[in-house]
Amino acid sequence: MEENRETPTIEESFSRLDELIARLEGDSLSLEESFKAYAEGLSLVKQCRESIDEVEKKVLVLEKSGELHEL
């Protein structure tokens, strides 16, 4: 089954966040453009957090006894 490609991968989101940070650190954006970039960044951080939370729920930990337990 193929993933929904409307949602970027976490790697794509991190890459986009890097781009946004670089733009925000520069002095070429207007105040309005800065707010738009900031809002996009917040949205990407939220998506990344949700993706990481999903993965954490699926991770299995192999305990010393050899039993598998979900986190």
Question: What is the structure's pLDDT at 1?
Answer: 41
Residues 42-58 as b/e (b if ≥16 CB within 10 A, e otherwise) read eebeeebeeeeeeeeee
Which alpha helices (DSSP H) does the chain contain, by range?
10-25, 31-58
Q: Which residues of the chain have a pLDDT value below 70?
A: 1-5, 60-71
Question: What is the structure's pLDDT at 7?
Answer: 85
Q: Rounded to two decimals, what is the model's pTM?
A: 0.73
Q: What are phi and psi of 69, to 5 degrees?
A: -135, 135
**Spans of all domains in the chain:** 10-70
